[in-house]
Chain A
Amino acid sequence: LTAGNKIFHFGPCRVSISMTEIRSGFTAIKDNIQARDPIRTLSILSYPHSLHKVKSSDRCCVTHHLFNFYMDKVFKHCKTEDSYINRKISSIANSFLSVKRKLEQCHEQNKCMCGQESTEKFKQILVNYEGLNVTSAAIKSLGELDILLDWM
Chain B
Amino acid sequence: DALLPAPQNITILSTNMKHFLTWSPVIIQGETVRYSVEFQGEYEREYANESWIPICECSLITATVCNITEDISATVAYNLRVRANVGARRSEWGALKGFFNRITTSLTPPLMKVIADGYHLLVELEDMGPAFQFCVLYWKKGQESRMQQKVVKEVSSVVHLDTMEAGPDYCVKAQTYVEAINRSSSFSQTQCVRAQGGTSMWLV
Q: Write the residues of chain A forming the contact surface with B, with a CB cutoff of 8 angstroms.
A: 1-5, 16, 18, 20-21, 25, 71-72, 75-76, 83-84, 86-87, 90-91, 93-98
B74 touches A21 (CB 8 A): yes
* Chain B 30-47 interface mask (CB, 8 Å, partner A; 1/0): 000000000101111011
Q: How far is the CA of A94 from the CA of B54 in the complex (A)?
A: 16
Docked CA distance A18–B103 (Å)? 13
Q: Nearest-CB distance from B178 to chain A (Å)?
A: 8
The answer for the CA separation of A21 and B201 in the assembled complex, in Å, is 42
Extra contacts besides A18-B75, A93-B44, A94-B73 (11): CB < 8 Å: A2-B131, A2-B133, A2-B154, A4-B180, A21-B180, A25-B73, A72-B47, A76-B48, A94-B74, A94-B76, A97-B46
Question: How far is B45's CA from A76's CA once the two chains are assembled, in angstroms?
Answer: 11
Q: Is the CB of A94 within 8 A of B154?
A: no
Q: Cβ of B13: which chain A residues have Cβ within 8 Å of it? A: none
A-B contacts, 17 of them at CB < 8 A, read: A1-B153, A4-B130, A18-B74, A20-B130, A25-B73, A71-B43, A86-B53, A87-B70, A87-B71, A90-B41, A91-B71, A93-B48, A94-B41, A97-B41, A97-B47, A98-B74, A98-B76
Chain B, residues 109-128, CB within 8 Å of chain A (1/0): the string is 00000000000000000000
Which residue, B46, B70, B154, has most C-beta atoms of chain A within 10 A? B70
State which of B39, B43, B132, B179 has its C-beta within 8 Å of the C-beta of A93. B43
Q: Is the CB of A16 within 8 A of B56?
A: no
Question: CA of A91 to CA of B75 in the docked complex: distance in angstroms?
Answer: 10
Min Cβ gap A53→B in Å is 30
The answer for the CA separation of A21 and B102 in the assembled complex, in Å, is: 14
CB distance from B30 to the nearest CB of A (A): 32
How far, in Å, is B105 (CB) from chain A's closest CB? 14
What is the bound-complex CA distance between A71 and B47, given in angstroms? 7
Query: What residue of chain B has the Cβ atom nearest to residue A17's Cβ?
Result: B180
Chain B residues contacting A95 (CB-CB under 8 Å) are 73-74
CB distance from A9 to the nearest CB of B (A): 15
Q: Give A72 to B71 CA distance when docked, in angstroms.
A: 21
Q: Which residues of B contact A16 (CB under 8 A)?
A: 179, 182
Residues of A within 8 A of B78 (CB): 94
Residues 52-75 of B contacting A (Cβ, < 8 Å): 53-56, 70-71, 73-75
How many whole Å from B100's CB to the nearest CB in chain A?
A: 12
CB <8 Å contact, B53 and A90:
yes
Q: Nearest chain A CB to B19's CB is how many angstroms away? A: 13
How far apart sit A16 and B154, CA to CA, in the bound complex (Å)? Answer: 18
Report the minimum CB–CB distance from B141 to chain A (whole Å). Answer: 31
Q: CA separation between A84 and B131, bound complex, in Å?
A: 23
CB distance from A138 to the nearest CB of B (A): 12
Contacts of B180 in A (CB 8 A): 4-5, 18, 21
Q: Are B56 and A98 in touch, CB under 8 angstroms?
A: no
Most chain-B CB neighbours within 10 Å: which of A20, A71, A87, A94? A94
Q: From residue A117, how far is it (CB to closest CB) to chain B in Å?
A: 28
Question: Which A-B residue pairs are the 8 nearest by beta carbons?
Answer: A94-B74, A5-B179, A94-B41, A93-B43, A95-B74, A91-B73, A3-B130, A94-B43
Nearest chain B CB to A18 CB, angstrom units:
5
Q: How far is the CA of A3 from the CA of B127 in the complex (A)?
A: 13
B56 to A, closest residue via Cβ: A83
- Bound together, the chains give a CA A95 to CA B41 distance in angstroms of 10
